[in-house]
Amino acid sequence: MKKRIFMLAALAAGLVLCLAACGENNREPITITLWHVYGGEVNSPMNTLVDEFNRTVGQEQGIRVRVDSVSNSGVIHENVLAAAYKDPGAPALPDLFVSYPKTVLALPDENILADYHDYFTDEELDSYLPEFIEEGTVDDRLVILPLAKSTEILFVNKTAFDRFSAETGAALDELSTWEGLYAMAERYAEWSGGKSFFVHDYHFNYFQVGVESLGESFFDKDGIAFGPAFTRAWKPYARAALTGGLWLGSGYATEPLRTGDVIASVASSASVLYYSDVVTDENNRTEKVEIISLPCPIFEGGEKLVMQRGTGICTVKSTPEREKACMTFLQWLTEPKRNVDFATSLGYMPVTKEGFDRDLPAAIQTLTDPMYASLYEAFLKTRQDYTFYVPPQREDYLSLETRFEKTVHLRLAAGRAQYQQQGAAALDTLMETTLEELRKSYDR
C-alpha cells in the first residue's frame, strides 16, 4: 500500500514538473526590436548574429530579437527623433537603436533611454575602453553602449607612392607628422605636374583634434576659438591646398584614391569597405595596387590624439522584463571574442580591452585580405600609442561642423584659383588672407 502511494506521488510530481516544463517551453518569447546600420538587409553581419542569438541563448531564455530596420545613421537619427516627438505617421520607437550622441542630445526627454549603469556592474563596464564609455555618457548617465567603433586612419596607395619614392627619395615615415605629410604633398604636386597627393575626409576633425592635441581648446562658448594653435594647423594645410597638393574636390576621400587623383587619404577606418585594390583613372585605365594603412599623423611635439568615431547602441525604456532581455542580448553581443569577429567583418574596432589586447592580434592572423590585415595592424599601433579624442557634447556641434566644412572648402578653393592666376609670389599673402576671411565669417 505504501509502495503504491509512493509511486502515485512520484507520478503526480513528475506530471507537475512536466506541465511546468511544457508551460515554460510554450511561453511566448519576449520580442525586442532593433534598428541598426551594419550591412544591408540581405548581407548583414549583425543580422547573422541576431539569427545565431535567437537560435541559442534567445531560445533558451525566451528572447527573440527582430531587426526592423537596416539603414544609415542619418536615417535612423531622423526616424528616432520623429518617433520620440510623436510626429504624425512616425513609427514607434524600437527597443534598441544605434546612435551618435547628437541623437541623444536632440531627444525631448533623456529619460526615454535606459541607463546602462542600472544593468551592468562597474566591473563589466570597466572591461570596455574608457574613452568609448565616456562618449556614451550624457549627463552622468550611460545611455550609449559601445558596440563597434572606428577611428581615423591614413590610407596610402603604396604602389603609386613607391614610384614617387624611387625618383625623389620620399619615405613613408615622413607621413607620421602633419608637417611632413604636407611638405611631401607640395613635392608630389611639383613632381607629378600638378596632381594632388592627399585628401582629408573631414576638415573639421583635422582642425579640432589638431588644435586640442597642441594643448588649446578648439571651441569656445560661442563656437570656434581661432587661437594660435589653429593658426599653426592652418598654415601647412592651406599651403598644401593652395599649391595643389591637397585635394579640394567634392565627395568622400575614397573616390579620389580609387581614381588615382590622390595617393593618400585620412578617412574613417570603416572606409576600408569602400576602397579597392584596383585604381581606375579618368581614361578608364586600371592598375592593381597595394593599399596600406598607417596611424593618423600628428603635429610635431603634439599629443598623439586621434578621433574616435562610430555609433553605439541605445535601449529605450519599457518594462523591466523587456529591458533585461535587451541587456541579455547586448552582453552576449559584446562578449570579447564575438565582438572582435563582428568588428573585423566590417572594418571596425572592438570595444573591450580584452578584445583589443587578446583576441584582435589572433584575429588578424586569420585575415586573408592584405588591406584589412594592414588596417588592423594600424589599429593595434593606434591603441598602443594614441589617446582616443572624445568630442564635446554640444547642442550646436552638428551645425558648427556643417558650416565649418563648407566654409573652409570654399575659402581654400577660391584661394587655389587665385594662386593659379597670381603665381607662387602670392602664396604667403593668400595663406594669410584665406585665414582672415575664415575668421571674419565667424565674427559675432
Residues 261-270 have a mean pLDDT of 92
- What are the contacts of 381-386 at 24+ separation with CB within 8 A? 381/295, 382/151, 382/153, 382/295, 382/296, 382/306, 383/349, 383/356, 383/357, 385/295, 385/304, 386/295, 386/296, 386/304, 386/305, 386/306
The cell numbers describing 314, all together, are 541605445
- How far apart (Å, rounded) are the C-alpha atoms in residues 133 and 128? 7
- Render pLDDT for 415-441 as a digit per residue (tens, 0 to 9): 999 999 999 999 999 999 999 999 998
* pLDDT of amino acid 251: 82
CB-based contacts of 437, cutoff 8 Å, min separation 6: 411
- Render pLDDT for 312-336 as a digit per residue (tens, 0 to 9): 999 999 999 999 999 999 999 999 9
- Render pLDDT for 327-365 as a digit per residue (tens, 0 to 9): 999 999 999 999 999 998 888 899 999 998 999 999 988
Q: Is 70 exceeded by the pLDDT of residue 183?
A: yes
* pLDDT of amino acid 40: 65
Look at phi and psi of residue 260 and say left if phi exceeds 0, alpha if psi is from -120 to 50, else beta. left
Which H or E run contains 371?
Answer: helix 370-385
- How far apart (Å, rounded) are the C-alpha atoms in residues 245 and 256? 13
* pLDDT of amino acid 281: 85
Q: Is 70 exceeded by the pLDDT of residue 12?
A: no
Q: How far is CA 42 from CA 55, 69, 70, 288, in A?
A: 18, 12, 10, 29
Q: Is 60 exceeded by the pLDDT of residue 173?
A: yes
Q: Is 80 exceeded by the pLDDT of residue 145?
A: yes
For the four alpha carbons of 164, 273, 250 and 258, in that order, the dihedral sign comes to: positive
* pLDDT of amino acid 443: 73
Residues 187-194 have a mean pLDDT of 94
Q: Is 50 exceeded by the pLDDT of residue 11?
A: no
Coil, strand or helix: which one is 10? helix
Which H or E run contains 100?
Answer: none
Cβ atoms of 407 and 438 closer than 8 Å: yes
Residues 400-423 have a mean pLDDT of 94
* pLDDT of amino acid 41: 56
* pLDDT of amino acid 14: 47
- How far apart (Å, rounded) are the C-alpha atoms in residues 170 and 163? 10
Q: Which among 305, 310, 313, 36 has a CA at the least distance from the CA of 149?
A: 310
Residue 312: phi, psi to the nearest 5?
Answer: -120, -165
Residues 360-380 have a mean pLDDT of 90
Q: Is 50 exceeded by the pLDDT of residue 20?
A: no
* pLDDT of amino acid 442: 81
Q: Is 90 exceeded by the pLDDT of residue 224?
A: yes
- DSSP β-ladder status, 63-70 and 30-36: parallel
Can you give the length of the chain in residues?
444
Q: Is 80 exceeded by the pLDDT of residue 7?
A: no
* pLDDT of amino acid 110: 79
Cβ atoms of 375 and 269 closer than 8 Å: yes
207 or 444, which is more confident: 207
Establish how many alpha carbons lie within 13 A of residue 147's alpha carbon, considering only the half-sphere containing its beta carbon: 27
Other Cβ atoms within 10 Å of 75 Cβ, number: 13
The cell numbers describing 219, all together, are 571651441
Give one DSSP letter per residue of 387-408, joined into a string: EEE-----TTHHHHHHHHHHHH
Task: Please report the beta strands in 260-412, taking only residues with DSSP state E, as ranges in sequence order.
Answer: 264-268, 278-280, 286-288, 291-295, 305-309, 312-315, 387-389
* pLDDT more than 70, % of the chain: 93
Task: Cell 566591473: give the residue.
Answer: 123
**Cα R_g (the chain), whole angstroms:** 26
- How far apart (Å, rounded) are the C-alpha atoms in residues 192 and 238? 19
* pLDDT more than 90, % of the chain: 71
Task: Cell 525604456: give the residue.
Answer: 317
Q: Is 60 exceeded by the pLDDT of residue 87?
A: yes
Q: Is 80 exceeded by the pLDDT of residue 295?
A: yes
444 pLDDT tier (thresholds 50, 70, 90):
low
